Amino acid sequence: MAVGNASLPLPPVAMFALMMLAAMAAGALLLLGPALLKTRFHVDEVVTTLLLNFIALLFVSMLLDGPMKDPGALGWPQSVAIPAELELPRLATRSRVHSGLIIALALAALVWIVGRFTAFGFEMRAVGANARAAAFAGMPVRSVMVKTALLSGALAGLAGCIEVAGRAGYVTLDMSPGYGYSGIVIAMLAQLNPIAVVAAAVFVAGILVGADSMSRAIAVPTYIADVIVAASLISMLVATTFARYRVRWR
């Protein structure tokens, strides 16, 4: 967002592209540390990335209370809004659905193509399935892990940029109600398939929005959505286990 508010003599299309590239670079840089810790010292990436969330939130909080703070926000910690010409257009009137949805669908298709029809995609799938076997086959396991982490971080940074440019136009600390954790569940439900992620995301979003509507209409607790999503994830994990292993009762 700092790039979007920079007074650069560039047309809006170039400024938007530069803003997206800056967001992708920031996301990739954030994941570079956990990737190097994983490849060099075999530190669990789940632990490092979860703990890194708090560092990122505190860093953003510092920026929102400091150099990026909007002086006209009456003391509320938020950034200065990006120019109107850099905001993503709405796909439907009186709705929050914006053209970022089209970008997300295009990226899902692009990631599927890369993973399915390129040598790097084959290396990613091989290392993800069995890193020791991939190393035995001569694949650069460390390099593939770092490149995959950088790609994932870049996509996450781009998603954040699209969320800001399409929904609010400015950054706040509470703009994400837990998208990252929902993304883990969606990825597991989709079995790490980029195309199936779209269907899994629609499924989870329908449950969350439906629970919110039920809460307002008939006072059903919104936590029912978490129960349904958790039960779906457990069912998927159990089904995957039985499909992969032959369980015998003795």
HSE-up of residue 146 (Cα within 13 Å, Cβ side): 11
59-93 pLDDT tens trace: 999 999 988 898 888 778 899 999 989 999 999 88
- pTM score > 0.75 for this model? yes
Mean pLDDT of the chain: 91
pLDDT at 148: 96
Distance CA 168, CA 203 (A): 24
Q: Which residues pair with 79 in a beta bridge?
A: 69
Whether residue 210 has pLDDT greater than 90: yes
pLDDT at 71: 87
132-161 pLDDT tens trace: 999 999 999 999 999 999 999 999 999 999
pLDDT at 1: 60
pLDDT at 113: 97
Q: Please work out, in degrees rounded to the nearest 5, the angle formed at the alpha carbon of residue 172 by the alpha carbons of 175 and 221.
A: 35
Q: Where are the domains of the chain?
A: 1-173, 177-250
In this structure, what are the phi and psi dihedrals at residue 69, rounded to the nearest 5 degrees? -70, 140
Average pLDDT over residues 208-234: 91
pLDDT at 77: 86
Write down the H helix ranges in the chain.
12-41, 45-64, 100-117, 119-129, 131-136, 141-163, 179-189, 194-218, 223-244
Greater confidence (106 vs 169) lies with: 106
Whether residue 244 has pLDDT greater than 90: no
pLDDT at 246: 78
